[in-house]
């Protein structure tokens, strides 16, 4: 196990002190990051004491410690999972060869682009969520938001380390630009579409952490397979932190459902108008949010047929999540049956990696749905079960981009699509209603009326612990 040195300005387990050039370059970037955090990070809470976890080791057991921290003082650092001895490339044409400790010249620009794209999403999500603290449903939720935010900040550090350490001058320039693009900025937007969507309410936040952070899980898993070993080790440790983000999403949505079912029981009705009048989120409205964020997150896997992903796989740069669980790691002989608006096409499997990843992602998304639906069924409302939208619904990237498809996956007329869209994703009215629920609750243990309390607190503390001291 490699321990983390906290005595240094930048905590790390990479022996940064032994590489003065890299250390100086990163120490030069550090104040710019802090400026970005203060300007674009959570607004107005920089002086609050937040009960946060900080990584103190990369060991699977006991890797984090908890304590009250002011966010700008959070110890963002560089942590890589321990190396795997004699690790070999696990897929593609160079399968079985030793992994690379340096960037192979021929893959330099594509690796840089993958790292920049990954890195860009991390500060983007912090920017998207910067105003949410003002309307937190509880101090428990506020703390979870900030935990997610500081860890996304650390994930930015993880990618910036790779850029500085392995890509010389252009890597340093890219690291600067990661702080200059901003979510939703008309001139300099973030790279991927979903990261320019505003997240202005907590229902969106729970959906984002459920669906979009799960894309993060799948992309990180596929980069953890990379033949470029420093990238693999970096992503392996990021995955440890990522799990909590999806927990926030899954339990958040679960708590909304629990509260709605309580209100339905109390009122003895499933009438959406009466549920809304009582200050809760009717399940139809929640379904619209799921439709919106699931379809938006599906675009993050790229085109179904992608020569980029084929080359990345063949060259050993980016594998499939859990590559070892597949039988064929070369994919030169196989085909994949792809569902397009023109019918089913057989395409080389190597070109369909994005689609294979999207399918396994959707299976993972189903797990939460099953759990939520069990609660809904137990409460006596099986007809109100929630569903994932079809993979071809409301897509902006790939074969189905711009096609009029309903949430069940049927191709319909443009007119019917335009007419019905507001019944499938949140309308202006729906968003206004959700916004009206977003009233800050900041007394220890108290919850907003639209969401049930969590089953337990953080790190074995009670739910009514003062997770954020606002002063």
Distances (CA, A) of 398 to 298, 338, 453: 10, 12, 40
| Alpha-carbon torsion (418, 362, 242, 91), positive or negative | negative
Q: State which residue, 138 or 212, has the beta carbon closest to ligand BYC.
A: 212
Give 342's DSSP letter.
T
Q: State which residue, 117 or 427, has the beta carbon closest to ligand BYC.
A: 117
Q: What is the DSSP string of 133-176?
A: GGG-S-HHHHHHHHHHHHHHHHHHHHHHHHHHHHSHHHHHHHHH
| Cβ–Cβ < 8 Å for 363, 356 | no
3-state DSSP assignment of residue 440: coil
Q: What is the DSSP string of 166-223?
A: HSHHHHHHHHHHHTT--TT-SSS--SSGGGGS---SHHHHHHIIIIIHHHHHHHHHHH
Shortest spacing between CB 463 and ligand BYC, in angstroms? 26
| Cβ–Cβ < 8 Å for 32, 179 | yes
Q: State which residue, 303 or 403, has the beta carbon closest to ligand BYC.
A: 303
Shortest spacing between CB 458 and ligand BYC, in angstroms? 20
Q: State which residue, 318 or 394, has the beta carbon closest to ligand BYC.
A: 318
The Cα–Cα gap between 201 and 7 comes to 39
Which of 3, 26, 124, 125 is CA-nearest to residue 76? 26
- In degrees rounded to 5, what are phi and psi of residue 22? -65, -40
Q: State which residue, 5 or 308, has the beta carbon closest to ligand BYC.
A: 308
Shortest spacing between CB 241 and ligand BYC, in angstroms? 11
Shortest spacing between CB 239 and ligand BYC, in angstroms? 10
Q: State which residue, 311 or 439, has the beta carbon closest to ligand BYC.
A: 311
Q: Which residue is nearest to ligand BYC (CB)?
A: 302
| Alpha-helical segments (H) within 399-464 | 414-424, 428-437
The Cα–Cα gap between 55 and 393 comes to 39
Shortest spacing between CB 223 and ligand BYC, in angstroms? 6
Contacts with ligand BYC by CB under 6 A lie at 114, 117-118, 121-122, 125, 152, 192-193, 212-213, 215-216, 219, 299-303, 306, 308-309, 318, 354, 397
Shortest spacing between CB 116 and ligand BYC, in angstroms? 8
Q: State which residue, 138 or 295, has the beta carbon closest to ligand BYC.
A: 295
| Cβ–Cβ < 8 Å for 200, 130 | no
Q: State which residue, 54 or 129, has the beta carbon closest to ligand BYC.
A: 129
- Strand 335-340 vs strand 343-348: parallel, antiparallel, or unpaired? antiparallel
Shortest spacing between CB 120 and ligand BYC, in angstroms? 8
CA dihedral 455, 460, 464, 470 (to 10 degrees): -120
Shortest spacing between CB 448 and ligand BYC, in angstroms? 23
Shortest spacing between CB 408 and ligand BYC, in angstroms? 23
Q: State which residue, 117 or 240, has the beta carbon closest to ligand BYC.
A: 117
């Amino acid at each position: 196990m490699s321990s983390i040195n906290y005595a240094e300005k930048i905590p790390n387990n990479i022996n940064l002190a032994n590489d003065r050039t890299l250390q100086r370059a990163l120490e030069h970037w550090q104040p710019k990051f802090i400026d970005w955090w203060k300007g674009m990070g959570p607004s107005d809470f920089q002086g609050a004491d937040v009960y946060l976890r900080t990584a103190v080791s990369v060991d699977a057991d006991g890797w984090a410690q908890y304590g009250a921290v002011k966010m700008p003082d959070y110890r963002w650092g560089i942590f890589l999972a321990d190396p795997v001895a004699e690790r070999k490339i696990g897929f593609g044409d160079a399968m079985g060869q030793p992994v690379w400790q340096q960037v192979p010249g021929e893959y330099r620009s594509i690796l840089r682009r993958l790292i920049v794209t990954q890195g860009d999403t991390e500060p983007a999500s912090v920017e998207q969520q910067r105003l949410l603290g003002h309307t937190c449903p509880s101090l428990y939720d506020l703390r979870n938001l900030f935990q997610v935010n500081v860890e996304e900040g650390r994930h930015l550090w993880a990618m910036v380390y790779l850029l500085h350490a392995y890509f010389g001058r252009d890597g340093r320039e890219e690291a600067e630009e990661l702080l200059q693009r901003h979510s939703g900025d008309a001139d300099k937007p973030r790279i991927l579409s979903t990261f320019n969507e505003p997240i202005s309410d907590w229902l969106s936040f729970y959906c984002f952490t459920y669906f979009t952070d799960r894309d993060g899980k799948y992309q990180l898993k596929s980069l953890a397979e990379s033949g470029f070993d420093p990238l693999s080790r970096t992503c392996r440790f990021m995955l440890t932190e990522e799990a909590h983000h999806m927990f926030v999403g899954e339990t958040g949505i679960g708590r909304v459902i629990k509260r709605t079912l309580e209100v339905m029981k109390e009122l003895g009705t499933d009438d959406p108008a009466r549920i809304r009048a009582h200050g809760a989120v009717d399940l139809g409205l929640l379904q619209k949010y799921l439709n919106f964020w699931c379809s938006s997150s599906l675009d993050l896997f790229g085109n179904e047929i992608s020569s980029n992903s084929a080359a990345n796989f063949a060259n050993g740069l980016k594998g499939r999540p859990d590559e070892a669980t597949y039988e064929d790691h070369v994919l030169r002989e196989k085909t994949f049956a792809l569902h397009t608006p023109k019918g089913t096409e057989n395409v080389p499997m190597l070109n369909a990696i994005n689609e294979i990843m999207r399918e396994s992602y959707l299976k993972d998304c189903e797990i939460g749905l099953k759990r939520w639906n069990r609660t809904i069924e137990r409460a006596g409302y099986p007809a109100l079960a929630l569903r994932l939208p079809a993979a071809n619904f409301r897509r902006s990237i790939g074969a189905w981009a711009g096609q009029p498809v309903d949430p069940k996956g049927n191709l319909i007329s443009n007119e019917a699509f335009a007419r019905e869209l507001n019944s499938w994703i949140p309308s202006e009215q729906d968003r206004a209603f959700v916004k009206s629920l977003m009233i800050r609750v900041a007394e220890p243990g108290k919850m907003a009326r639209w969401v049930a309390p969590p089953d337990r607190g953080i790190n074995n503390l009670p739910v009514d612990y003062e997770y954020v001291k606002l002063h």
